[in-house]
Structure 1
Amino acid sequence: MKRQLTTILAADIVNFSRLIGADEEGVLSRRRQHQAEVILPLLNDHGGRVANTAGDSWLIEFPSAVEALRFAIQGQTKVEALNAELEEQARIRYRIGINVGDVVAEGDDLLGDGVNIAARLEALAPAGGVVISRSVRDQVRDRLDLDLHDLGELEVKNIARPVRAFQVIRDGEERMAPPGARPRLRTPVMLAAVLAVILTIGSLYWMRQPDFDPVAPETMALTLPDRPSIAVLPFTTLGDDASADWISDGITENIISTLSLAPDMLVIGRATAFTYKGRLVEPAEVATDLGVRYVLSGSVLKSGEKVRVTAELSDAIKGEQLWSIKEDSDNKNILYVQDRIAESLFLEMQVSLTVGESNRTITALAGDFQTSVRVIQGRDAFQRFDPAGHREAERIWTELHETNPHSPIGPYLLGWLPWQRVIIGLADDPAVEFDESRRLVAKALSMQEWGDPYTLIALIESATGNYDEANTAATRAIKLSPGGADANAIGGVALFQSGDTKRGIEHMLKGMRLEPDYPEWLPGALYPALLEDGKYDDVISLTKSVLGRDMRDARAHPQAYAGLVAAYALKGDLENARQIVSNLKTENPNLNVADVTRLFSLQSQSPRPFHEVLINSLETVGVPRAVD
């Protein structure tokens, strides 16, 4: 371990995440301009060496405190000149902290208290300003003509002793208030003056403008729930490292999966969240689209093995950004970072997590963050529902399981593959494939219990007519993952098919609310349940919504037409029902009742009184029982 005494300069961009969110291309272009025209030339002039960089921050080593301070003052002045021609909201400003101290060199990187103090001083500096430690002041005060503002002894996080700090005042720069300073009230007149100032500041605080236009709940596309509600947007990947994109997706999914385990919270599901990937959207827009109060956004920047994660939480109802977090980590410690973000969200929304730590995230189940990324990569292939995607998912998940055989995530994921072989027509014997799925899921649950495996059990048992088993599995899935979109949607289907129509509708609708960009198969499963419950207008509304969308699932539009015909027929609107039947017969002259009920998968269910009612109503509007 090599120790040395050196001068460390820490710098970062003020409000970098917000700037990126507003104008990513413009900010990155101006950052490159600053690097080319200001930072690199001044580094050359003053002998600085970049020890570490991560997106909006730099850690630079200098041969002397004098050269470091000259670099800082000249750099801030040059950046100020470049900003002069820009609108206020487009300006990039830097904070700089400088310290002389003992550091540990690891390769080109520098670590230790000397670095930590420089970083803490940087965080204290005002936008466009420079703060230095007493050790720097002692080195430069007889060599440079400076106006130094004494900030006093400061308590610095993770540093045992207070640090004496000084603000470097450039021409026109205001003096900052010493952190933690309190005015000494010596006379009644001074007390009155201070109270007047406090009241003035207080009134300005309450009159301050919000960060963005607040969203009125009545303008939201979906009803704002009474309980806390949040959308977690896909974290943005910064920089050129392609592998960082999977890290961004992994963090996003793990935060969603953690939050969705809270029973008293509405968390928008991953499928809907990822429709925003690659889009620059404002919190207000997301909240309006999805009917949520809170919006979390963030970014990931990867540099070698180091990762910088930022996150920002906004309250759309108030029009305010509530807080932001910036964490530097390596790949092994990302689990800590994402959990810290999730915990901060729970505290902000005052939601208690009522499940054990071991059940919290995909990462916890997988064993490490890298494995959870492989889970996501395999699922992306799996969800193509074609032979090529199936083979790719099988390759990834088999390798994952062989690498980490003691994790329950491996057999659970592999359990979906036999089921999918049946669904996409690759199975020679569906019964054998379903038995293999049951075996693998049982193995996963013997290692650890959580909600998702029970959704697969519910699907298999309902498909094979074992409705009591399907009901039990669905109920267990929902109990263990009350905020999970899949657990509610799939569990709801199984509950309905096993005869519990009311609960089936309740959980299918909850799954749809948790995933506003709902799976394309879900409406087709919901139509017959709503029809049986007499909610004909709801079916008409839902079918028209589906027919107005471009759906990839070839079954979606035929199912919607079937639902629309049935709803009109059962409602007694025979004119509309017959018109749709006439249109359908133009494309399929041999249309019969079996064609319609097959779309609802009613043949696989135990006969129920409603089925005969539905068939009779279809006959009434011109759909025959059998081909004439």
Structure 2
Amino acid sequence: MKQRLAAILASDMAGYSRLMEADEAGTIARLKTHRIELIDPAIAKNGGRIIKTTGDGMLVEFQSVTDAVKCAVEIQQRMRRRNSDVPQDRRIEFRIGINLGDIIFDDDDIFGDGVNIAARIEQLADVGGICVTAAVATQIADRLDVPIEDLGEKTLKNISRPVHLYRLGLEGSVLPASPEEKDAKRAVSKPSIAVLPFDNMSGDPEQEFFADGLTEDIITELSRRHELFVISRNSSFVYKNQPVNAREVAEKLGAQYLVEGSVRKIGDRVRVTVQLIDAANDAHVWADRYDRRLDDIFAIQDEVTAAIAATLPGRLEAAQRDHLARTKPANMAAYECALTAKVLHHRATVADNKQAQALIDRALALDPGYAHAHAWRACILGQAWVLGWCEDKDAVWAEIVAELERALGLDDNDADVHRILAAVNVNNNELMTARYHQERALSLNPNYDLVVVQQGELLTWLGRPEEGVEWIRKAMRLNPHHPERFWSHLGKAYFAARQYGEAIEAFMHLSVMDHVQHAFVAACYGWLGDDVAGSAHLKKVRAIAPDFGLESFLATLHYARESDTQHIRDGLVKAGADDALASERHRVQ
């Protein structure tokens, strides 16, 4: 046996039995994820050694008290961030106690009074908090920027003498940030936005409730978007009924962008105006006006909230893109890398996809715990997989699945994670699994245009194209600046609904069509009996994809009903697809 002075960190998980009873497999999986991605790396980084683990806790030895406290603060601060969007009854939270004392080591286990005290004070810590003894508090008082609160002397179970305890606050930084830590802070930065209370311009006191409710609903809806940092209602409403200077308010709230608006009642109508301001230069990024009849003021509130919450993130993203284009930072932070990767992904070319992969990899190198970036890496790889831009499709598919598992483990409440899981399952013809994730994405963010348009796509594959058209049209209304590919989704939905003229019109909105879109247009003309136009589009199909084959093309579609697959097959045959294929086979021979 050996004996030496050491700092002992004891931790356990609050509510472990309750969480295990409610969802044993899910709790174990999430706890394992936290261990792998956060807790064990934090212990290793700070020079700790795990001595013993139980189902819900562990004992860790540190040779330095400072390192033990730094590790504890990092774990609790990052767990608090991870839990920010998790329902209270599903949160995994820890209590941590730290003591400095003589420890007896025997056969890779530890014993002694110092260990017992660490275990006892951990039970007195707040959920998500840290409790330390006087010996620890004395050591760190002048070394770390951590608030320390005196709890006085406490009597601990099976400890004969009272022990003086302290609570550590988690608000301050542990040490002055190193260059690496500064990069890490930048890595998780998101565009910050504050929604100021909307002004009631009506002179009608009853409209005050409408204005306040509208403001609160917009804040709530924007908070669903994980790519934004939204200032809380309590902070924003400090400025209610006060004249404001945009730059001063933004500086005090720590916001890059401000949303201002007003509500005015005019007869039996209500007018809502809203504007988005870039606080750095007091420039108006976007503005809009909504005029509605005053039949149901709460329905108006919901409608206007949905429109603003759907439009603002797109306008913010465009402003961020413009800023990046102007500044071209040498060391982009994770959010900036992910944003640029998304833009490249939407261009849908081989070169842009390759560059998007490099940027999303950079984002994850800067912030490995960035769930949103893991989800988008799966999306970008999925684009390469679907369009055949990868050499080893099996290996890429395995990467896609792994990325989505990581994203889901990090944040089960990110609508993008479930949206992309739904898309991947559609491409794997697992339509029922896709439907589960799609519905989860919709419940998390019903005003996200990419989720809404995908609902229309999925309904089309499931044989409900008329409903699909309605959802895709809704996505277009939610985001008037929607990606061009929305027109392609709409054209495919109209085709499945046997509305060929509307389908052709939708496809004609595309500035450039790929061979798949030309094939759908050819099938439309086939059903309309226009052989000349159908043949012309089949020639374009062949020019873009010389290896195009009817059956291989149909195999890439995901219709749940065989009749829908037969429908496009018949349309292509009517347009002359069989003749074109026969001519191609004759030419090759």
Q: TM-score range by the shorter chain?
A: 0.3 to 0.5
Q: TM-score, normalised by structure 2?
A: 0.42
Q: TM-score, normalised by structure 1?
A: 0.39
